[in-house]
Chains A and B, each alone.
Chain A
């Protein structure tokens, strides 16, 4: 039996529309210094941080080998540093594997992104499409999400009114999250009148452009207990890749998320997920995804998304009390911030949005057009 792995500390910058006064190295340094202060760790193979896993993206950073510019911050002087070039929750998956393998005891995970740098996010995600068939028709992740939202809304009885409710709630919750700045509350009428991006997606349905950095310290059980008195255990992680061409997929089927969730639940020993979680943090890049991913996670009956919102489901299931991605995290860090927020809940450090006595949480990340790739992590405390 491989050893358990715990999250020992969490740090993040504020999430803002444009951190024009900071380079990405500066944002990451802020997180690193916070983590070192919280844990008393140093970079050292003798009991300190033995491996750094960074999360960033060459195209968002406009830098080949985007971690190359970060080596000072990542403590990589003669040290092991590797970059997860995927959605950030995957860094948790990789850190878990590296520690369980016995190769290393303490791992730093540190992700950064400045979405304010490119002219638009769509310009970046457009480049994820193949240059022969799908790029020439102008697809990007927003357009793909529009197609998925249409397919899903019809199947789950989710209308414009439900989506407005999701956005209004997220913006309200964001006011209680001190790490979210400069994001105004909105009314349902404002959401309903907001311009269309890709029918039925509206501007206010989309996660706001944001800059920031987030980090975690992971450690093998024995070390985790030395570093903190409130370790958060990674009970199970699972992920799944769907096919690439949108036409090859049933966009409303939730196939990859159901697979990812089943794998995470199996590893965590969860047979009945419906009532298993005190807190759920999921990556809702667009409003329709909050009910849709809940269905995919098996926490809401298939096709029941609309009724779930009508019945006050998001509040009852304690979904995205941090505000979620709709309160603003970069595309490539959505799931990693969700894991950080879930860990804060389990450590009792979630401030104004703390769920009293939370013991088990779910964190979810997603990447690719119309949710091609999903990661699910189950976190627990003693």
Chain B
């Protein structure tokens, strides 16, 4: 399908992510991210046509929170849209902003994802999504030990556990370079065994150290039409494509029936549509929504369409580190910071910052021409984004 017009990302703003942002209320926290994004784009609210907003209402128990948040988003007098899809919300907001600009309805759109998880009960809130009759008694929020169990069965306990911990420690090394990250623990590779033994178990072999944080924070992004983006930004991050796939609430009803993940489905579709044959060679960076070290490890195989133990070897060899062949989550990822309504947007935003060369302390040492970013939510839902630099677009043309 032909896109009506090109859309570039020209500004990114993020609040500091933390377990407790008690010194600010929700609009004030959002305002921090909005101001930073406007400053990066070099514009004021006067130049923004439309504000897109999203989060998960039951976490903070505020009905239609965009109404109150107008005080911090700057939406007064503007057009506005509110879209939510659970954990994928942030990436869905980026997709919505892309549509609003590409459609020609707007030249400049500001998108905002936020969550203040401190003000609610995260696991209780997530558990409430399950069917009250059939699923709720079984649901443990987003905490699941299934992937750990499957990986241990497939690769043996010793290797699987070591790879999950190696992934966790690599992500923390990245988070240490990102001053906005919530959990910056300074983990060392020689602590792996001690952590595996002493971190409290949550569900099976999913331990506290493997799991993402519950964070307060907001992320804002500014999307502009090609003409406007070129005026505002020396190197915009262009939106090449995005694919969304959801699936039904109940699955795996038939024992070990093979399940095609939405991650693999989206990756196949995105790569086919964009002529990508070897993603690890043709893409420079992946910002992945990795809610736990086990999921991050397992999902590498799905997103990169790998077979066998190739994904484990990528972690064991350090290929996913910042100086490796295929860097994953230079920001530290979701394990480091997880303000849920913003989390998936942060993936797209961080990928964009790398292309724009504005990632600061965690900027990759080599130019990023093409980047992948994923969102995850609901019952295994995926949004997968492909971003590109001018260099990449010129080469493709």
- Is B86 engaged at the interface, CB distance under 8 Å to the other chain? yes
- Is B146 engaged at the interface, CB distance under 8 Å to the other chain? no
Decide: B67 and A101 in contact? CB cutoff 8 A.
no
A68-100 contacts to B (CB < 8 Å) = 68-69, 71-72, 74, 76-86, 90, 93-94, 96-100
Decide: A129 and B58 in contact? CB cutoff 8 A.
no
**B: which residues have CB within 8 A of A?**
1-4, 25, 51, 54, 56-59, 61-71, 75-86, 92, 95-96, 98-100, 102-105, 125-126, 128-129, 131, 243-249, 260, 262, 265, 377-379
- Is A241 engaged at the interface, CB distance under 8 Å to the other chain? yes
Residues on A with C-beta less than 8 A from B4 are 2-3, 100-102
Decide: A58 and B1 in contact? CB cutoff 8 A.
no
Decide: B129 and A82 in contact? CB cutoff 8 A.
no
Decide: B81 and A128 in contact? CB cutoff 8 A.
no
Decide: A132 and B249 in contact? CB cutoff 8 A.
no
Residues on A with C-beta less than 8 A from B76 are 241-243
Residues on A with C-beta less than 8 A from B95 are 82
- Is A263 engaged at the interface, CB distance under 8 Å to the other chain? yes
Among A68, A72, A372, point to the contact of B67 (Cβ < 8 A): A372
State how many angstroms separate the Cβ of B220 from the closest Cβ of chain A. 16
In whole angstroms, what is the CA distance A113 to B103 when docked? 29
Q: Which of B64, B70, B100, B129 has the most CB of A within 10 A?
A: B64
- Is A244 engaged at the interface, CB distance under 8 Å to the other chain? yes
Residues on B with C-beta less than 8 A from A102 are 1-4, 102
A64-B125, A72-B248 known; A82+B92 contact, CB < 8 A: yes
In whole angstroms, what is the CA distance A87 to B59 when docked? 20
A1-33 contacts to B (CB < 8 Å) = 1-3
Decide: A132 and B25 in contact? CB cutoff 8 A.
yes
Decide: A98 and B99 in contact? CB cutoff 8 A.
yes
Nearest CB to that of A52 among chain B residues? B246
State how many angstroms separate the Cβ of B179 from the closest Cβ of chain A. 29
- Is A369 engaged at the interface, CB distance under 8 Å to the other chain? yes
A68-B129, A100-B103, A101-B3 known; A369+B67 contact, CB < 8 A: yes
A76-B246, A130-B68 known; A85+B265 contact, CB < 8 A: no
Decide: B86 and A68 in contact? CB cutoff 8 A.
yes
Residues on B with C-beta less than 8 A from A63 are 58, 128-129
In whole angstroms, what is the CA distance A258 to B57 when docked? 29
Decide: B83 and A85 in contact? CB cutoff 8 A.
yes
Decide: B58 and A64 in contact? CB cutoff 8 A.
yes
